Amino acid sequence: MTKPFKRLLLTGAAGGLGKVLRERLKAFTEVLRLSDIADLGAAAEGEEIFQLNLADKAAVLKAVEGCDAILHFGGISTEYPFEDIMFANIQGTYNIYEAAHRLGVKRIVFASSNHAIGFYKQTEVIDADARMRPDSMYGLSKCYGELLGQYYFERAGIETVALRIGSSFPEPKNPRMMRTWFSYDDLVEALRCSLVTPRVGFTVLYGMSDNPAVFWDNRKAAHLGFRPKDSSAQFAHLFPDTGVYPAEDDANATYHGGGFIFDGPKYK
């Protein structure tokens, strides 16, 4: 079967989701180019390895060259001091977009996060038009990445799907994640839709499975054709309703962003 792409770049390939995607993305591309600051080991068949720091513009240019599209999962994925976030997530994401611009890559899937809108209350259901309300320096960096995507689409015609990932783990870890859970299979399908849809412009897609209750409305991303098949309903037995109302300082029961609300800010 002919694969839709000749070469895809996956940044952050040594991260938690990067490790999951390393094998699964090969179904879409003849060559999967992997990058990370960490050691990725030896390249398997159909792989190319670029060990690099995303803040190194020249190295990023080399990694982007010859790619049909980019799945940008690289950077710091938890709360850190701004100085760390700045180089990995802000400078690094700028380098990815500028390299794409210089080298003619026209599609990026940006691994954004629910922490770009984490200060909404769990009583609110929002869509892609809701204003950003970051809950952390990490969340701020994801807002910046989304704004870069919008800018480079308007300025240079680079199309972006900003995938605001909820909670992509084998199973939910708390009651909040029953609403934000995003199965690995649904993640891969969301990436496939983001890559192959003919026109995406700049689109925000909330990364979540077909859960019984949710915080986010994806109707404004309907043109991507993403239809999640999994649901957190299968894990309902893990978090039975006790009838006890959560405490006011329980961030996991109050805000979209959960514990990130009280995890930061952090300082050097």
The predicted structure's pLDDT at residue 265: 82
Reported confidence tier of residue 263, pLDDT bands at 50, 70, 90: confident
- The answer on pLDDT for 242 being more than 80 is no
Domain with residue 120: its CATH number is: 3.40.50.720
Domain that holds residue 201: 5-263
The predicted structure's pLDDT at residue 1: 73
Tell which wins on pLDDT, 244 or 197.
197
Reported confidence tier of residue 252, pLDDT bands at 50, 70, 90: confident
Mean pLDDT of the 85-97 span: 97
pLDDT digits (tens, 9 = 90+) for 103-116: 999 999 999 999 99
Does residue 153 sit within a domain? yes
- The answer on pLDDT for 248 being more than 90 is no
Which of the residues are catalytic?
138
Residue whose token pair is 């309300």: 133
Does residue 170 sit within a domain? yes
For the chain, how many structural domains are there in total? 1
Cα gap 162→218, rounded to integer Å = 12
Q: What percent of the chain has pLDDT over 70?
A: 99
Classified as helix, coil or strand, 251 is helix
The predicted structure's pLDDT at residue 195: 98
pLDDT digits (tens, 9 = 90+) for 194-214: 999 999 999 999 999 999 999
Does residue 268 sit within a domain? no
Crossing angle for the helix pair 92-103 and 57-64, to the nearest 10 degrees: 50
The predicted structure's pLDDT at residue 262: 84
- The answer on pLDDT for 266 being more than 90 is no
Cα gap 161→204, rounded to integer Å = 6
